[in-house]
Amino acid sequence: MRKVLIIDDEASGRQLIKEYISDFSDLVVLGEANNGVDAVKLINEFKPDLVFLDIQMPGMTGFDVLTHLEELPQIIFSTAYDQYALKAFEVHAVDYLLKPYTKERFKIAVEKSNQNIENNKARPLAESLLMDKPKFPERILVQSLNKLVTILVKNVIRIEAYGDYSKLITNDKTYLSNYGISTLEEKLDNSIFIRVHRSSIINLNKVKELNKYTKSYDVTMVNEDVVRVSRGYMDNIKKLMF
């Protein structure tokens, strides 16, 4: 029995895949999503064996989804756009279904996924992407009003503790992370994101200047925010001075 997820921003596209899947007794649909953000959450939660994945979707593309996954299942792309076919095969997708496709064409795609398993090539996509996946994330999902959005980590100027959560401050907006500041310190590149206070992390690439006082420093960021360096974290700053 193989677990399946269906990701497509059109209800008719999801319904067609479910209809075609009903011919395969070994495939069980665990769920579906209509956007990239929800797709990441579902795939990371259910760890499916096979995902039918659209490419052009709200929130992030199908290719963006792949870079946010903890584990990478077999992927069959299902899209109305033929210009992404080459990129799909560069990441070793099982198949590329160009809408509208027939039941026979769908069957061929499923058979390809079966052949990959039989030939011990169940996860070529995983091997390809994980080899190139950076140690630290380049994009992250954060709260914005009542939805999750993706932002580039390099755009985060500083991070501020907010109870059990954290605020991520960029040049034009503040976002909420569900993680505490200590957890974010572990998840981000500590050669760039430096803890300077129990309540503050700064992005070194966004520092404007450093002002020294008798027993402390104040860091002025590019957005003119001023962050105090506490004595307990002074060494994190001093080791960067030459």
Q: pLDDT of 84-117, one tens digit each?
A: 887 777 667 889 999 999 999 999 999 988 876 6
Instruction: Put the strands of the sheet holding 2-7 in their side by side order.
Output: 27-33, 2-7, 50-53, 74-79, 95-98
User: Do 108 and 8 share a structural domain?
Assistant: yes
Is the model's pLDDT at 49 over the cut of 60? yes
Instruction: Put the strands of the sheet holding 174-177 in their side by side order.
Output: 147-152, 139-144, 174-177, 165-169, 158-162, 200-203, 193-197
How many structural domains does the chain have? 2
d(CA 109, CA 96): 8
User: Do 123 and 25 share a structural domain?
Assistant: yes
Listed residues 100, 132, 164: the one ending a domain = 132
More confident residue, 129 or 40: 40
pLDDT at residue 168, rounded to an integer: 95
Is the model's pLDDT at 131 over the cut of 50? no
pLDDT at residue 53, rounded to an integer: 96
Within a 10 A sphere around the Cβ of 236, how many other Cβ atoms? 16
- pLDDT band (50, 70, 90) for residue 130: very low
User: Do 220 and 124 share a structural domain?
Assistant: no
Instruction: Find the CATH number of the domain harbouring 21.
Output: 3.40.50.2300
User: Do 63 and 109 share a structural domain?
Assistant: yes
User: Do 166 and 195 share a structural domain?
Assistant: yes
pLDDT at residue 9, rounded to an integer: 93
Is the distance from CB of 88 to CB of 107 less than 8 angstroms?
Answer: no
Q: pLDDT of 191-215, one tens digit each?
A: 899 999 999 999 999 999 998 877 7
Residue 143: domain span? 139-238
Q: What would the two tokens of residue 163 be? A: 């109870």
User: Do 7 and 126 share a structural domain?
Assistant: yes
pLDDT at residue 67, rounded to an integer: 83
pLDDT at residue 123, rounded to an integer: 47
Rg of the chain's alpha carbons, rounded to an integer?
A: 22
| Chain mean pLDDT for the chain | 87
User: Do 111 and 13 share a structural domain?
Assistant: yes
